[in-house]
Amino acid sequence: MRKPSAPRPERSNRAQDAPASIPPRRSGPRRPRPSRSAQGSSTPSTPTAHHGAEQAGPAAPVKRPRSASAPRTPKESGGAGSASRPRRPSTSRGASSSSPASRRGGEGAGRTSPRQESSSPEAAASTELTVFGRRQVALSGGDDRVVSTGLADRLKERQAAVRRLRLRRVVRAAVVVVAIVVAVWALAFSPLLGLQARRISVAGSDGSVSDQQVRKVLAAYEGDSLLRLDTGRLSTQVSDKLVRVRRAQVTRAWPHGLRVHLTMRVPVATVQDSDGYQVLDNEAVVLERVSEPPSGLVNIVPDPAAQASGPQKISAKQVAAVTQVVGSLTPETLAQVSSGSATEAGQVTLTLSSGASVVWGNNQDNALKARVLATLMTTTASIYDVSSPHRPTTRSADSAGATPVAPSPTS
């Protein structure tokens, strides 16, 4: 028959709610742990002792700190009295002594539960020190770098890494900007691609304009980079300063030259003035002045009908009308024309070297009239009338009337 054990005193709510103090960890050697037999022998085993305890009055409640270890099972509890006790979440004195938490601390009676540790000020301070403290771990493999595991140190390292990243980006951007500036200066402002006058080539001239004249016009741009040269403006300057040039096309010849292709003005007529003879092209542009009229050009004379009333001066309008008609003729027909005249109304008449005359009319449909005249001149006549190119006529000196001819193709 088992001996009855003393009733376990009830814990008050104040004792349970009060946070247990955390005893300081002892640094000395561990004390020998009492065996289970010794613990079992310490409990009262006689009814006399139990009866004496009941007579002594209610026992004072004993504060037992909770252990962090798991509750003991009946198999783990070695005493006979512990088997009859009801199971509770907290362990007995013997179980707490055998738990891992009691082994680490050396005494099971001084350990507290995790809830009590987290609620105590000492536990909060310990946690704060663990989080914000400085702990460094040396890397393996002989590396001298040290990794910090503290939150404050990690934040500092992250901020330093961000600053280094920003600095690298700024340096890269500065390097790119400097490289672009240097490249622009080298290509656009340095002598690397500068124009050299001796590298300017000229093509398309008929001999009236020399290469030296073209280079003289473009000499003001010598040394300038080809990238900054406006070829359209250079073309206009060449055609404006050289009268014999109708149109100029300037292109770049890398790395230091230019190519200039010229379209020349062709002289077609001459007109006499007080200083001699002016050589004109089909746009009535004065190409040069000479003392004697060149051969092969049409001489512009006053209108014979107006000349009967007295000497007449040739107006600029009359000159322009004749030059436009002469400029539209084919080279074969132009070679047979000796002179031309025009009225104030713009009616043009041409005189051939054979003595025949051409009634041209106004300046409309000049290209069509030139083709019709080239066809009519295959026959012999004294007057060729192409004023109406769709119904041209020819007349002979001994004929009584005009002889109509078939219209030529308009294409």
Around Cβ 91, how many Cβ atoms within 10 Å?
24
What is the structure's pLDDT at 326?
Answer: 95
What is the structure's pLDDT at 285?
Answer: 94
DSSP states along 330-381: -HHHHTTEEEEEE-TT--EEEEETTS-EEEEESSTTHHHHHHHHHHHTTS--
Higher pLDDT, 59 or 159: 159
What is the structure's pLDDT at 89?
Answer: 44
Q: How sure is the predictor about 225, in pLDDT bands with cuts at 50, 70 and 90?
A: very high
Which of 28-32, 61-65, 79-83, 232-236 shows the lowest mean pLDDT across its residues? 79-83
**Residues facing 279 on adjacent strands:** 270, 288
Segment 72-96 mean pLDDT: 42
Segment 334-360 mean pLDDT: 94
Segment 204-216 mean pLDDT: 94
ω before 29 within 30° of 0 (cis)?
no
Residue 304: both structure tokens together: 């014979």
* H or E segment and range at residue 17: helix 13-17
Q: How sure is the predictor about 56, in pLDDT bands with cuts at 50, 70 and 90?
A: very low
Q: How sure is the predictor about 301, in pLDDT bands with cuts at 50, 70 and 90?
A: very high
Residue 396: both structure tokens together: 């002979």
| DSSP letter (8 states) at residue 90 | S
- Span 148-197, pLDDT tens digits: 568 888 899 999 999 999 999 999 999 999 999 999 999 999 999 999 99
pLDDT above 60 for 382? yes
What is the structure's pLDDT at 150?
Answer: 80
Residue 25: both structure tokens together: 């960890």
What is the structure's pLDDT at 330?
Answer: 93
Segment 210-239 mean pLDDT: 95
The winner for highest mean pLDDT among 78-92, 132-146, 342-356 is 342-356
DSSP states along 224-285: SBGGG--HHHHHHHHHHH-TTEEEEEEEEETTTEEEEEEEEPPP-EEEEETTEEEEE-TT--
pTM over the 0.95 mark: no
State the chain's mean pLDDT as an integer: 75
| DSSP letter (8 states) at residue 70 | P
What is the structure's pLDDT at 237?
Answer: 96
Long-range contact list for 109-116, CB < 8 A, 24+ apart? Answer: 109/64, 109/65, 110/22, 110/23, 110/65, 111/65, 111/66, 111/67, 111/68, 112/19, 112/20, 112/22, 112/65, 112/66, 112/68, 113/66, 113/67, 113/68, 114/68, 116/19, 116/20, 116/66
What is the structure's pLDDT at 396?
Answer: 84
What is the structure's pLDDT at 118?
Answer: 44
pLDDT above 90 for 120? no
CB 205 within 8 A of CB 248: no
- Span 259-273, pLDDT tens digits: 999 999 999 999 998
pLDDT above 70 for 227? yes
